[in-house]
Amino acid sequence: MKSLLILGAGGFGRMVAETAQALGYEKVVFLDDAVKDEAVIGMCCDYEIRHKEYPVAVAAFGNNKMRLYWTDKLLEEGYEVPAIVHPSAVVSPSAVLEPGCFVMQRAVVNTNTRIGRAVLVNSGAIVDHNSVVCAGAHVGLGSVVKSDCTIESGCKVEAGEVIFSTRRKIEGVDSRSLEDAVYAFGFGQQCSYVKPFGEGHINETYAVYMPGADGKDTPLYVLQRININVFKNPDQVMTNIFGVTEYLRSMIREEGGDLDREALSYIKTKSGESYFEDADGQPWRCLHYVPDSVCYQMVERPEQFYQSALSFGHFLKQLGDYPAESLYETIPKFHDTVKRFHDFKDALRKDVKNRARLCREEIEFVLAREDDCGVLMRQLEEGILPLRVTHNDTKLNNILFDKNTGEGLCIIDLDTIMPGLAANDFGDSIRFGASTAEEDEKDLNKVHFDIELYRIYVKGYLEMAKDVLTPAENASLPWGARLMTLECGMRFLADFLQGDVYFKTTYPEHNLVRARTQFRLVKEMEEQFDQMQEIVETF
């Protein structure tokens, strides 16, 4: 016989008894300290001695504190303490009902809600989606708890009252702007915690951890604040990103690839916008976290550089038919080396920090290469080189690698997706990856252009992109390596002359040291330029 022991034989207890009978409990008895009748078989303290006879029990007290107290006592004793749901109530399959809660006549519990232990959701009440009603609370007759609300433990929502969305404290959220962004993308009620993520120096980035099916917190999303000092038109940045990533998904689907791992997937706000603007006018965007991936800051072994070449070559190939002219130029003339040369000369002319006297040799190095700066730009103007969809920041750390196989997964940091030259993307990879030392190495004896790493990159890049590139573009690749390295050195040197206003520095000569490493690489590329061209022709 299916039986139920109810602690509390008052008005609410009798309501629960009627509900229990409607649910198929054939025998319902009570424990109560005050009420005496044939259905009351003892006092509440007798719950221990009645356990074997009645293994299933609930605490049906109208008082929140009493209901929670006795529910916990029953659980401690080892009773089965079910959730009691009236047959006329509507409860979503995704809702979580904890032990000893009650959902009464015609109440509604919507999608992804959590009803805590010993909670009473009274007749006609509505708890809307993604809300949490904590232990021992009472949602009164005909009241409404709207979506994304939290009703704290022991609280009562009065009959007919409407509770609007509330915010809960999220660990790691230390500013109102970050909190607003978390809620703008709909993570506020479920988010476990937030923590800084990655090693980028431009945008402020966080991993958003959510509870997983196995009970462990898992990073599912990446939240970024876009640096508007660098990207002054975030709407254009995000229009480019959504256009390109959605196109990439269609290409990956055609190739039979993994849509969740081979391209970044961005998320719109709850209001359907491509980014959220906080109270300070700062833009925030969100994307899916790519699981089982890793990012490398430096080339640790040749295979990594080869994989990066495959990745960037494949990226160019996938976007070969994308209309480059439809993209915004989010940083105007970003890789216009002629403009960069003129910017350098302007910084030299002004010499606002009186630093030109400290770098005469480096200045002469740049001035002697004025004609070189126009090589690729002239070919673009003459229609010899076509515009491509280019990444414009093709360092190794802008690729996610599969942490298990070591293969390149997808390209990240898409802020600088713009129309550009294939040679520029190729060249920036070489500048960064085919150097034997870091960008700010003080000892120039350690800084060399590694022609074998160059060969490895050319091989991987052309394996993927050769069928897309024109003969003129193939021939332009060695020039891309020379000019991107020269351009970067010019920018470091100009910033040094201007007082370090753009690049982050840690000591006064930092930008000058960076410029010197780039110029050392340029000099060695010039010395080996014929061989660089021959390597491209080989593949």
Residue 421: how many CB atoms within 10 A of its CB? 25
Name which of 424, 418, 422, 420 is nearest 239 in CA terms.
418
- The C-alpha atoms of residue 425 and residue 316 are separated, in whole angstroms, by 9
Give the chain's length: 539
- The C-alpha atoms of residue 22 and residue 28 are separated, in whole angstroms, by 11
H helices of 417-470, in order, are: 422-433, 451-465
138 is in an annotated binding site: yes
Name which of 140, 53, 47, 72 is nearest 102 in CA terms.
140
- The C-alpha atoms of residue 287 and residue 428 are separated, in whole angstroms, by 26
- The C-alpha atoms of residue 51 and residue 450 are separated, in whole angstroms, by 79
- Could you tell me the end-to-end alpha-carbon distance of the chain, in angstroms, rounded to an integer? 82
Pairing of β 399-402 and β 408-411: antiparallel
DSSP state of 45: G
33 is in an annotated binding site: yes
510 is in an annotated binding site: no
Residue 271 CB-density burial (10 A; 0-12 exposed, 13-18 middle, 19+ buried): exposed
Q: Which residues pair with 218 in a beta bridge?
A: 210
148 is in an annotated binding site: no
Which segments within 189-245 are labelled E, that is strand?
193-196, 204-211, 217-225
Q: Which residues are annotated as a binding site?
A: 32-33, 62, 138
Q: Residues marked as binding for substrate?
A: 32-33, 62
Annotated binding site for acetyl-CoA: 138
